[in-house]
Amino acid sequence: MTMTPGLRKFALTAHVTFSVGWLGAVVAYLALVVAALTSQDAQTVRAAWIAMELSGWFAIVPLALASLLTGLVMSLGTEWGLFRYYWVLIKLLLTILATKVLLGNMQTVSFLADVAAETGSANLGGLQGQLLHAGGWLAGVARNHDTVGVQAAGHDPLWVA
Ligand code: HEM
């Protein structure tokens, strides 16, 4: 099933918008984590946890799912396919892994945000884990981006990690 050129352009625009938007949302999330980590003010830390939960569920998770979905459309609707090139397969696996870790992580964030909202306590300990998750994700996307660079550089099907 191959897309028409117009549809392909539209789908690629959506794919890049969602996936790069995901990257931007994680940078903003990281800023919240760092602000809360370096703040001595309990109100700031509580506000950061609550903002992390909201930005996670309403920006990062939808963008992750949309990146995955539009990535699948780009693969299956073009000559790239899903299993023909290493870079597509690696993008797929990295994105699935990142989405899985993200969804697992959001359960913890929701729990701690509820604690922060209801009891007024600010869990500084959990933030170290958040920094690791967000930082790890950014590293993964940077790797993903390298594979895209290879594609742009010459559509090399023999690229390996
Ligand atoms: C964080 C995740 C992702 C990021 C940041 C990302 C980023 C990008 C970017 C920037 C492009 C445009 C490259 C260019 O035109 O030179 C692209 C294209 C593409 N992406 Fe992704 N992507 C992600 C996930 C995925 C996934 C999960 C798949 C599918 C399994 C996928 C499949 C594709 C395909 C097939 C193209 C080429 C489309 C074409 O040439 O028309 N991507 N991606």
Q: Summarize pLDDT for 143-158 with one digit per residue, the tens.
A: 665 544 334 333 333 2
Measured CA to CA, the distance from residue 146 to residue 40 in angstroms comes to: 38
Of 142 and 33, more confident: 33
Residue 99 belongs to some domain of the structure = yes
Residue 12 belongs to some domain of the structure = yes
By C-alpha distance, which of 7, 1, 16, 3 is closest to 151?
A: 16
Mind listing the pLDDT tens digit for each residue in 37-60? 888 888 888 899 999 999 999 999
Mind listing the pLDDT tens digit for each residue in 105-139? 999 999 888 888 887 655 556 666 776 777 777 77
Residue 89 has pLDDT above 50, yes or no: yes
Residue 94 has pLDDT above 50, yes or no: yes
Residue 159 belongs to some domain of the structure = no
The domain total for the chain is 1
Residue 161 belongs to some domain of the structure = no
- Count of C-beta atoms within a 10 Å radius of residue 58: 11
Asked if residue 99 has its Cβ within 6 Å of ligand 1, the reply is: no
Longest CA–CA separation in the chain, Å: 56
Collapsed DSSP state (helix, strand, coil) of residue 161: coil
Tell me which of 73, 75, 91 to substitute to probe ligand 1's pocket, judged by most ligand atoms within 8 Å of the beta carbon. Answer: 91
Output the CA 37–ligand 1 centroid distance in Å: 33
pLDDT, mean of residues 8-27: 97
Tokens of 25: 């949302």
Residue 34 belongs to some domain of the structure = yes
SS3 of the chain: helix, strand, coil, percent, to 5: 85, 0, 15
pLDDT, mean of residues 22-40: 92
Asked if residue 19 has its Cβ within 6 Å of ligand 1, the reply is: yes
Residue 115 belongs to some domain of the structure = yes
pLDDT at 157: 33
Tokens of 11: 């789908």
**Atom of ligand 1 lying closest to residue 141 CA:** 1
Residue 160 belongs to some domain of the structure = no
Instruction: Quote the DSSP letter at residue 124.
Output: S
Structural domain for 146, as ranges:
5-154
Q: Could you tell me if 84 and 147 are in contact, meaning their C-beta atoms sit under 8 angstroms apart?
A: no
By C-alpha distance, which of 63, 56, 59, 85 is closest to 15?
A: 63
Residue 39 belongs to some domain of the structure = yes
Task: Determine which residue's CA is closest to atom 16 belonging to ligand 1.
Answer: 152
